[in-house]
Amino acid sequence: MLALADEVFASRSDPQQIDVNQQVLDRLCSIHPASVQSHDEPDGPVAWVLAFPCTENLMHLFLENRITERQLFEQTPLHVSYHTLYLCSALVLEEYRKKGLAKMLTLQAVEAIRSDHPIKSLFAWTFSKAGDQLAKSITKNTGLPLHLRQY
């Protein structure tokens, strides 16, 4: 899954993006345990979603291109009340696509995080038509407004 993430997002070569590795996954879980969601089959994970809550101030800085995705992640404080949720990434192995796994995992993350924090909005930086559709589907299902960062 990490290789697929690098292929899709080219995060290793882009200092603006979060380069997902075990340390990043651990910090995401420190922000909120539901920030990392995955669907496993007998051979291992076939889908994962990363979504983490953060402050509204950081969301606005990110949406205005004043901070990078990496800075958003690094500057998100721990153990505070969060009011917004960043839909960070969703990856599904090709043979498991179009089965609703990304939507199911994202909705699980949103529900779990909302049970602990007064989330009022969602935001995303979509890289594909599928990512854009997923983000819009999540906002429709949750009733939360969606803010998109422009490329």
Which structure tokens are listed for 78?
């721990």
Name the more confident of 2 and 127: 127
> What confidence tens digit (pLDDT) does each residue in 52-89 have?
999 999 999 999 999 999 999 999 999 999 999 999 99
Q: How confident is the model at residue 1 (pLDDT cuts 50, 70, 90)?
A: very low
Which CA distances in Å does 76 have to 55, 58, 89, 96? Answer: 7, 7, 17, 32
Model pTM? 0.90
Q: How confident is the model at residue 128 (pLDDT cuts 50, 70, 90)?
A: confident
In the predicted structure, residue 7 carries a pLDDT above the cut 70: no
Average pLDDT over residues 16-26: 87
The two counts, helices (H) then strands (E), for the chain are 6, 5
Domain boundaries, the chain: 2-148
The pLDDT, as a whole number, for residue 142 is: 98
Q: How confident is the model at residue 22 (pLDDT cuts 50, 70, 90)?
A: confident
Q: Which CATH superfamily is domain 2-148 in?
A: Gcn5-related N-acetyltransferase (GNAT) (3.40.630.30)
